[in-house]
Amino acid sequence: MSCTRENKIQLERPALICLFVLFVLLFFPVSGFASGVKLPAIDLNLDDVKGPEQLSATLQIIFILTVLSLAPAVLVLTTCFTRFAVVFSFLRYALGTQQSPPNQVIIGLALFLTFFIMQPVWQRVNQEAIAPYERHEISSEELVNRGITPLKEFMLRHTKKPDLALFVSISQQEKPKNAESLPISTVIPAFVISELKTAFQIGFMLYVPFIILDMVVASILLSMGMMMLPPVMISLPFKLMLFILVDGWNLLIGSLVKSFQ
């Protein structure tokens, strides 16, 4: 069943509000935020519906809870987490260390680096949106608009123009005057593609020295007649030694953080 444009707008507003509230809960101290904002209790009860307005409100709550269940994935894709997680995975496979470092360590390190990089953005959100809203100076709609603006600027700053042009053409929208006028639904997928492209480029550069080391070890083993001995088993200690000698973690994380500054 097709929906009119007005119905879509009415459905998008609560979704944006829910995403923004989840941003705040994840990146700001819960105790400080909760002390200034009182959240109402939610009661999902479909019994004894007295009118269409009551049923509509219940369906809106169900819709909001559905959006919240998908929000973590959306939040991960709108920050620098994607680049960190993909690069760290490439590094692990380039070293050939199988499950070391484990996934929990990779995700945890990527999360804390994401908090570090995104801190100025969340400070702007707090100063420009949350603080005025707590002082009752702006409406909830203005809260969402002001809160999304710093995040949108961050994504546009790290999004390649061809990726933006791709999604503008796919959406069949009119050519915008500037990138800032693009809707958030167009900016997010373009940002994700740009982050994946950058992460794959960094991953390729990580693979090159380790592949060369594998080829050297394989050639030496072949010349010695040890064809049945896996070259990866012999090259792994040399890979680790090379990574330690160049202080790989310091070099890699320093380069990743500087790429966002």
DSSP symbols for 55-117? HHHHHHHHHHHHHHHHHHHHHHHTSTHHHHHHHHHHHHHHHT-TTSS-HHHHHHHHHHHHHHH
- Answering whether pTM is above 0.95, one says no
Q: What is the pLDDT of residue 27?
A: 46
Q: What is the pLDDT of residue 198?
A: 92
DSSP 3-state of 34? helix
R_g (Cα) of the chain, nearest Å: 24
CB atoms within 10 A of CB 260: 16
Tokens of residue 1, six digits: 């069943």
Largest interatomic CA distance in the chain:
86
Q: How many residues does the chain have?
A: 261
Q: Which amino acid is at 57?
A: A
Q: What are phi and psi of 45, to 5 degrees?
A: -145, 115
Q: What is the pLDDT of residue 1?
A: 45
Q: What is the pLDDT of residue 261?
A: 77
Determine the Cα–Cα distance for residues 150 and 93; give it in Å rounded to an integer: 35
User: From residue 238, how far is each of 30, 52, 174, 213 by CA, in Å?
Assistant: 46, 70, 55, 8
Non-local (6+) Cβ contacts of 132 within 8 A are 138, 143, 146
Q: Which residues of the chain are under the pLDDT cut of 70?
A: 1-60, 63, 67
User: What is residue 224's DSSP assignment?
Assistant: T
Tokens of residue 73, six digits: 């994935």
DSSP 3-state of 45? coil
Q: What is the pLDDT of residue 204?
A: 92
CB 106 within 8 A of CB 89: yes
CA atoms within 13 A on the CB side of 121: 24
Q: What are phi and psi of 259, to 5 degrees?
A: -70, -15
Domain ranges of the chain: 1-74, 78-258
Determine the Cα–Cα distance for residues 151 and 165; give it in Å rounded to an integer: 20
Q: Which amino acid is at 253?
A: I
